[in-house]
């Protein structure tokens, strides 16, 4: 049998591409080098050959980049989460702007009035208000554990994060540096109890096992935590007992205000069959720009509470609302943009697919004495979305904040049909944002783009694009 040739090569990392992939170029070929930092000179091993590029891993540093720093987290080398902990924050901001520029200029050949420097986050660790940890029956073994031939306890149980590219392997985590400290206490409390009781973790490969995921959400406003434990259906007394004993452990933590037990019996990890509130009221309370929000367990809310006031303020400044204007907020979620805007204008329309988010939005409006918004739960990507929107008066301005996949052709068609004066497009994915702006460029020019860092230590970036209707001379 022909053995695969081992190819080692020295490379200089010169850039970071989309989705945080470090890039080196050698003899006309592109190499993606895992965990590389621009300026690194490294000896690498070629591990994969694709049609247009190679994939390499670092064997040795010949010269380390001046921009390289030591990662704070001991899980950094294996974890697929905070992939930029080895890059100084100054240069994280620089490369995030580069990625926005690449999406608009290089990939889509768009004209933009101005792209601002990335607006930094005031807090770059312990900022995230929601973490979803997965249980796994197949724990990922670290290189040290394999090389040292260590006896690994609890090899068939892990609670942590998925290994990048592996749906079935979980990296067991003791501490996550981007969530609050109490989140780590909750994480380890759950893990210790489950191991001591011999409760099984779910296997994504075989669809067996009880414990599936642990969602920890935090309110900065009240310093409260919501814990949502997701399991398969209870099948025995031990599993039932675990749910109650975990409740006792959580009641010892003053900051935990509510605990929910949810059941998922499907192969789909996001399908919830039922939920039961074990204590508290099943809601988390947060505040944005003096508006209080009630957030239910599965509703979307911006994940960086320390940055959210600044972010929403920047969006509102871009909208530049006038009192007599009528504004649509499409993909409105729980109303994090809509409700603050309501203080500036007379009438708004908010549309969102997720019914629980719309329920929260209506409740939040009522609780804050806001009555000038109509909220609708509807799929903005549906074939008949134009029929629905045509029932409403043409807006003066539209705010868009779609998921990472961007806008569907159906909603783009309607935007081109009604031609409102301004569109403020907020996105967590500059590639799909630029793609959609390309589809709109016949009638809209891009005045500016403001990259906004809501996700320090990662390659993710929010960006706010302001589009204006082109005034055509007849």
Catalytic center residues: 428
Decide: 282 and 260 in contact? Cβ < 8 Å: yes
Instruction: Give the pair of three-digit tokens for residue 310.
Output: 């600044």
Q: Show Cβ contacts of residue 390 under 8 Å, excluding neighbours closer than 6 positions.
A: none
Distance CA 317, CA 310 (A): 10
Q: How many CB atoms lie within 10 A of CB 257?
A: 21
Return the residue matching tokens 């080692």: 8
End-to-end CA distance of the chain: 72
Strand runs (DSSP E) across 87-129, as ranges? none
Q: Taking the C-alpha atoms of 447, 104, 441 and 461 in order, what is their torsion angle to the nearest 10 degrees?
A: -70
Q: Show Cβ contacts of residue 387 under 8 Å, excluding neighbours closer than 6 positions.
A: none
Distance CA 258, CA 282 (A): 6
Decide: 278 and 247 in contact? Cβ < 8 Å: yes
Return the residue matching tokens 């719309």: 358
Decide: 213 and 135 in contact? Cβ < 8 Å: yes
Return the residue matching tokens 């409403």: 392
């Amino acid at each position: 049998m022909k053995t695969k040739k081992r190819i080692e090569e020295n490379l200089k990392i010169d850039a970071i591409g989309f989705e945080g992939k470090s890039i080196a170029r050698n003899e006309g070929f592109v190499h993606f080098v895992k965990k590389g930092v621009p300026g690194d000179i490294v000896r690498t091993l070629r591990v994969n050959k694709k049609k247009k590029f190679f994939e390499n891993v670092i064997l040795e540093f010949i010269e380390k980049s001046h921009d390289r720093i030591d990662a704070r987290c001991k899980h950094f080398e294996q974890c697929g989460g905070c992939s930029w902990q080895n890059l100084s924050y100054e240069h994280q901001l620089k490369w995030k702007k580069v990625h926005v520029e690449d999406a608009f200029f290089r990939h889509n050949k768009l004209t933009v009035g101005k792209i601002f420097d990335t607006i930094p986050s005031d807090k770059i660790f312990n900022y995230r208000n929601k973490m979803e940890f997965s249980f796994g029956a197949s724990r990922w073994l670290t290189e040290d554990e394999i090389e040292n031939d260590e006896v690994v306890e609890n090899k068939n149980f892990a609670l942590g994060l998925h290994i990048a590219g592996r749906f079935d392997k979980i990296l067991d985590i003791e501490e996550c540096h981007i969530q609050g400290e109490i989140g780590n206490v909750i994480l380890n409390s759950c893990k210790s109890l489950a191991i001591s009781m011999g409760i099984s973790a779910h296997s994504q490969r075989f669809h067996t096992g009880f414990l599936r995921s642990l969602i920890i959400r935090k309110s900065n406003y009240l310093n409260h935590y919501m814990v949502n434990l997701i399991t398969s259906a209870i099948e025995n007394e031990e599993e039932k007992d675990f749910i109650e004993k975990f409740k006792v452990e959580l009641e010892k933590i003053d900051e935990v205000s509510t605990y929910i037990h949810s059941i998922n019996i499907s192969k789909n990890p996001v399908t919830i069959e039922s939920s039961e509130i074990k204590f508290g009221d099943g809601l988390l309370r947060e505040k944005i720009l003096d508006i209080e929000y009630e957030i239910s367990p599965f509703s979307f809310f911006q994940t960086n509470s320390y940055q959210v006031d600044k972010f929403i303020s920047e969006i509102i400044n871009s909208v530049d609302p006038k009192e007599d204007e009528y504004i649509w907020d499409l993909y409105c979620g729980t109303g994090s943009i809509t409700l603050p805007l309501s203080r500036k204008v007379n009438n708004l329309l908010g549309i969102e697919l997720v019914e629980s988010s719309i329920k929260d939005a209506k409740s939040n409006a009522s609780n804050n004495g806001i009555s000038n918004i109509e909220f609708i739960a509807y799929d903005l990507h549906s074939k008949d979305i134009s029929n629905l929107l045509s029932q409403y008066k043409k807006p003066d301005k539209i705010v868009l904040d779609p998921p990472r996949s961007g806008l569907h052709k159906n909603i783009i068609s309607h935007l081109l049909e009604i031609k409102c004066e301004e569109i403020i497009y907020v996105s967590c994915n500059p590639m799909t944002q630029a793609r959609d702006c390309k589809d709109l460029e016949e009638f809209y020019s891009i005045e500016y783009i403001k990259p906004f860092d809501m996700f320090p230590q990662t390659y993710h970036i929010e960006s706010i694009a302001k589009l204006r209707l082109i005034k055509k001379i007849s």
